[in-house]
């Protein structure tokens, strides 16, 4: 089954304790992206990756890191989480070469990770 998986689905942590949210897709998609969703703000793009070893900042990259060492995986790293990073996080992927590719193509979203930083 074609899907985007995220782990963990729920996480409660404390300020300053490094954490990683994993994202994996099995569709051989080139483009992957991370978003956070907050009430009243909608979704905001954190980072995106056009392909392996190619990443760039979205609208709200501060406090986050990403890496793309393999095509299927795109982990989101919070090196020193703070309470303002409490949010619902979504990973998404899309193919290149169909439509206009990247974010302008149909993105497949993961189920979300609800993070609480105390």
Partner 1 sequence: QQQVKQSPQSLIVQKGGIPIINCAYENTAFDYFPWYQQFPGKGPALLIAIRPDVSEKKEGRFTISFNKSAKQFSLHIMDSQPGDSATYFCAASIGRYKLSFGAGTTVTVRA
Residue 3 binding partner 1, by CB under 8 A: no
Using a CB cutoff of 8 Å and minimum separation of 24, what contacts does 66-73 make? 66/34, 68/32, 71/28, 71/29, 71/30, 72/24, 72/25, 72/26, 72/28, 73/22, 73/23, 73/24
Per-residue contact flags (x/-) with partner 1 for residues 15 to 54, judged by CB under 8 A = ----------------x-x-x----xxxxxx--x-x----
Per-residue contact flags (x/-) with partner 1 for residues 81 to 110, judged by CB under 8 A = ---------x-x-------xxxxx-xx-xx
- Min separation Cβ 96 and partner 1, Å: 8
- Min separation Cβ 72 and partner 1, Å: 18
Pair 4, 91: CB distance under 8 Å: yes
Pair 45, 58: CB distance under 8 Å: yes
Contact set with partner 1 (CB under 8 A) = 4, 31, 33, 35, 40-45, 48, 50, 56, 58-59, 90, 92, 100-104, 106-107, 109-112
């Amino acid at each position: 089954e074609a899907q985007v998986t995220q782990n963990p689905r729920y996480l409660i942590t404390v300020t300053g304790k490094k954490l990683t949210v994993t994202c994996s897709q099995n569709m051989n998609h080139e483009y992957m992206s991370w978003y956070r969703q907050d009430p009243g703000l909608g979704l905001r793009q954190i980072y995106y990756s056009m392909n392996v070893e190619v990443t760039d900042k979205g609208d709200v990259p501060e406090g986050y890191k990403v890496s793309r060492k393999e095509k299927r995986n795109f982990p989101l790293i919070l090196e020193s989480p703070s309470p303002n990073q409490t949010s619902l996080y979504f990973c998404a992927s899309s193919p290149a070469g169909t439509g206009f590719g990247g974010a302008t193509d149909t993105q497949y979203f993961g189920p979300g990770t609800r993070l609480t930083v105390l």
